[in-house]
Amino acid sequence: MVSNLRKYKYEGTSTTRPSTSSGKSSGSPTSAAPEPSHTPIMDITSIKADILSSLRKDISVVIREELRTVLAEDFESIKRELIAVRSEIANNTTAIHAELDHMKSNVGAVEKGLSTWTDEVVSTQRTVKDLEKLVGELRDKCEDLEGRMRRGNIRIMGVAERPGSSSPAAVSKLLKEVFQMDKEGIVERSHRSLVQRGAGDKPRVIIARLHNEGDALAILRKARDRGGRLQFDGNTISVFPDYTVNVAKARAAFTDVRKMLRGRPGVRFGILYPARFRISYNNEEKEFLDATEAMDYVKKKVIPAAEPEN
């Protein structure tokens, strides 16, 4: 820019003024007027335009240099950061690959173990099914054996609890007196039920085993024929078969149906061992193992539709 401004440097030359004297010139003619100076006339507008153009170029150069310097520093910083990030990503990627390999190894081991355990579970399930079947058969067999062992037993309810009232001799005497037997039956053993009895509770049941199963069946038949109207020492007593717990529960489920049918003309019913409820009505016989089905049948077929249910 300085070099551009040099062309506008002012270089004026001083002209010598003509000398004047108070006297007259000595016969010589008056000297001629000085020649005009050759100093160029400057155009202000063009000077301004040139200066502005020169300033723009210089400023643009300076700005470019400054921007280049600043951007170079930023680019270097960004480059360093990118290199650091790339290195960190590479390290993380290596660690991730190692972790994935470890996980793949674990998953493979788990899959192998699951496959083995699946086979074991399938085998165990088959074994469990076989055992369930076997347990069911054994349970039924035990139930049958226990029921057969109880065939010579009877249960006597309503006998007052006194010392010696449940002894075999006392039970034998009771049976002879109540059922008017020719001779006393042989009672092998007898005892009260093993439940706790509180003050004011009913007497506990006497469980007696007779030596002859035929005597037990005859006593139960007589008790059934007399409809439970048995008296001993002024008390009403009842005699029942001695069933297992499961059989007793299954037979007790039909109690409501039996109460509903008791006393109805033309209806015969009973419970066959172990727990089959049989109904005879209008020359038709039905057997039920489920108390709910038996109740539905009685309400639909046996009880007249016009008769209100109690």
Give the pLDDT of the chain (310 residues) as one tens digit per residue.
555 555 544 444 444 444 444 444 444 444 444 454 444 555 788 888 888 888 888 888 888 888 888 777 778 888 888 898 988 898 888 889 899 998 998 998 898 888 888 889 999 999 999 999 999 999 999 988 998 889 899 999 999 988 999 999 999 999 999 988 888 888 999 999 988 877 778 899 999 999 888 889 889 988 888 876 788 888 889 999 999 989 999 999 999 999 888 888 888 898 888 889 999 988 889 999 999 999 999 988 888 633 554 4
**One-letter amino acid identity for 129?**
K
Assess if residue 305 is contained within a domain.
Answer: yes
Question: DSSP code of 152?
Answer: G
Assess if residue 296 is contained within a domain.
Answer: yes
pLDDT in the model for residue 277: 93
pLDDT in the model for residue 6: 52
Per the DSSP assignment, residues forming a β-bridge with 232 are 235
User: In the chain, how many domains are there?
Assistant: 1
pLDDT in the model for residue 62: 86
pLDDT in the model for residue 278: 93
Assess if residue 252 is contained within a domain.
Answer: yes
Burial of 176 (0-12, 13-18, 19+ CB in 10 A): middle
Assess if residue 179 is contained within a domain.
Answer: no
Q: Kindly report the CATH number assigned to the domain that includes residue 291.
A: 3.30.250.20
Assess if residue 112 is contained within a domain.
Answer: no
Which token pair is 85? 């990030």
User: What is the dihedral angle through the alpha carbons of 68, 70, 72, 78, rounded to the nearest 10 degrees?
Assistant: -140
pLDDT in the model for residue 200: 78
Task: Let me know: does 160 contact 232? Beta carbons within 8 Å.
Answer: no
**One-letter amino acid identity for 201?**
D
Domain, as residue range, for 287: 243-310
Distance CA 278, CA 269 (A): 5
Number of neighbouring beta carbons within 10 Å of residue 241 = 19
Assess if residue 91 is contained within a domain.
Answer: no
**One-letter amino acid identity for 157?**
M
Assess if residue 292 is contained within a domain.
Answer: yes
Task: Let me know: does 210 contact 191? Beta carbons within 8 Å.
Answer: no
Question: DSSP code of 299?
Answer: I
Assess if residue 282 is contained within a domain.
Answer: yes
